[in-house]
Amino acid sequence: MISQGLVGFFDILGYQNIIDNNTIEEVSKIITEVLFSLPGAVMAEMKKGHCEPVWDKMKMKLKNLEATLISDSILVVLALDLKKSVWEKLFSVSLFERYIEGLMGATFREGLPVRGAIDFGDYFVEDRSFAGKPIINCYRLGQSLDFSGGVMTKECSAVMDSVLLACRKEDADACEVWEGFMGYDYLCPLRDQKWERHRVIDWSLWTGDEMKDVRGSVFKAFKDHNKDVGPDVIRKMENTEMMLRFFKSKWKVSGVKGK
């Protein structure tokens, strides 16, 4: 079925290295005990801090979210009807982004850091078959990133901004709390030593350790499961660390101390 909505596509950094450096038994354990359990782990994290009525509403919306593991990649989609009310759209957009934040935090925590992007547009997903320009856009943009993290395409950022703008017109005070969930503009390091400004998704509060030791957390995530740490990986680690420190500077501004 063809749908219109939000699309996220992420690949696991160093996945081939994991296969090279581990037995098939060890790799199968990572897949069955870690990767297959990710959707449930993310849902459990999202539930924390919400009363049952609120969580029930969130679950109803999240039933429409599809997360599919395809080898070393994760595809996440959520249909979004732009004709719905402002608050319905805002709720969907914020839930999708929080799920993506939780996914990136969970994979990082399990030593499987990812990189990727989210987009908006028409897509087709049926079992493990998929098609659509947003998926390709996410794949291409994600492959260009030289760090572990996620960014929004220009189209996705425009949709987020339009939803926020409509929200402000209806109730600026009520909308203010949602603005921090829409990412930050950041000069991103890309492959081949290039740089581009994108809106990055702040997943740092979902890592489970509040980033008390940023460098140590990054090293562990990139080294876990017997992954090699060569020059290219060191560069990605340093870029990831810098971005996480940028996120921590935003915590101080907003008064955030933890999850």
User: What's the pLDDT score for residue 177?
Assistant: 65
User: What's the pLDDT score for residue 259?
Assistant: 37
User: What's the pLDDT score for residue 252?
Assistant: 58
Over the range 91-125, which residues count as b (16 or more CB within 10 Å of their CB) and which as e? bbbbbbbbbbbbbbbbbbbbbbbbbbbbbbbebeb
User: What's the pLDDT score for residue 182?
Assistant: 79
Measured CA to CA, the distance from residue 174 to residue 108 in angstroms comes to 32
Reference 10, options 92, 65, 98, 71; nearest CA is 71
User: What's the pLDDT score for residue 258?
Assistant: 42
**pTM of the predicted model over 0.75:** yes
Q: Which two tokens stand for residue 132?
A: 């659509």
Residue matched to tokens 């990710």: 38
What is the pairing mode between strands 114-126 and 194-200? unpaired
Q: Which two tokens stand for residue 194?
A: 């290039």
What residues are paired with 150 via a beta bridge?
116
Instruction: Render each residue's pLDDT in the chain as its tens digit; 259 residues.
Output: 899 999 999 999 999 999 999 999 999 999 999 999 998 889 888 888 778 888 888 888 888 899 999 989 999 999 998 888 888 888 888 899 999 999 999 999 999 999 999 999 999 998 888 999 999 999 999 999 999 999 999 999 999 888 888 888 887 776 766 666 678 999 999 998 899 999 999 998 888 766 678 999 999 999 999 999 999 999 999 999 999 999 988 875 544 444 3
Task: Give a three-class secondary structure readout of 67-122.
Answer: EEEECCEEEEEEECCCCCCHHHHHHHHHHHHHHHHHHHHHHHHCCCCEEEEEEEEE
